[in-house]
Amino acid sequence: MERKDGIVLKTAGAMLVLLLFFFAQGAIVVITGIEGIRSALIRGAVIWGLVIITLANSIIRYKGISKLGFRSAEKGAAKRMLYFSPLLLIALSPFAAGINFNGGAALILANLFLTLGIGMAEEIFFRGIICGLWLGRGVGKAMMLSSVLFGFSHILNLAGGADFVETILQICFALVYGMIFALIFAESGSLLPCVLLHALHDFCAFISGEGSAQFEIILGAVQFIVLLVYFLYLFRIIARKREPAMKGR
């Protein structure tokens, strides 16, 4: 097993690289005042640059990208995790307020480009790298550490001009989401479900219509309850799976 100080340094290094790129993409659009399609494309280009560099580094060092979690999921994992239906429901739920077509197809595609990049980058770093580094020391520790870092990383949304209260709520929401994604990664052995679910959630949020304040409160409450129940379910099946191994020690 790798020494703890080595894992800590690698974790800190991964966080530093990710935060630098995400700070840069937010700062660029704020400083330049760019909005709409150009903003989504520029932000997406910066984030995809990080993804490409990280994938290339993995290919050079490890002769592939399976080290980052890009491998087939364990057989039967999707069924055990209810085919991720709770997360699909949450991702699509903002459409109850409609879809925002004001920017046209071009803006929708630009947002798709951006959200796919965000899903790739954040899942590679928080689950593929950080969670992957700590899994050898226990699923609980890996889940909590990667999720706390994932949650607080959203404070960089302030660099993109986000509202302070809104950012705090995003941090709390991301913390719970991060724990669920960590459990999905641990149970399936693959990063692909996390990337796709993450990107879908962000994409739907970007293009959905804006509901009333009451609608947003009710939607947020329902989403939190669904997330909590799903988290407890995933945690239970993973704990049960590891009970025989713990008893055999």
For position 111, what pLDDT does the model report?
96
For position 165, what pLDDT does the model report?
78
Rounded CA separation 149/184 (Å): 17
Q: pLDDT over 70 for what percent of the chain?
A: 94
Instruction: Select the more confidently predicted residue: 209 or 129.
Output: 129
When pLDDT is averaged across residues 110-139 and rounded to a whole number, the result is 96
- Residue 39: partners with Cβ closer than 8 Å, 6 or more residues away: 29
In the chain, what are the domain boundaries?
4-247
For position 167, what pLDDT does the model report?
81
63-80 tens-digit pLDDT:
999 999 999 999 999 999
Q: pLDDT over 90 for what percent of the chain?
A: 73
When pLDDT is averaged across residues 198-205 and rounded to a whole number, the result is 96
Q: Which of 116-125, 149-158, 212-221 has the highest mean pLDDT?
A: 116-125
Rounded CA separation 23/159 (Å): 7
Rounded CA separation 113/188 (Å): 26
Helices 164-188 and 192-207, axial angle in degrees (round to 10): 150
Cα–Cα separations (whole angstroms), residue 67 to 72, 104, 161, 190, 248:
12, 39, 35, 10, 28
Rounded CA separation 102/210 (Å): 12
Quickly count: other Cβ atoms within 10 Å of residue 32's Cβ. Answer: 11
Rounded CA separation 183/226 (Å): 16
11-35 tens-digit pLDDT:
999 999 999 999 899 889 989 999 9
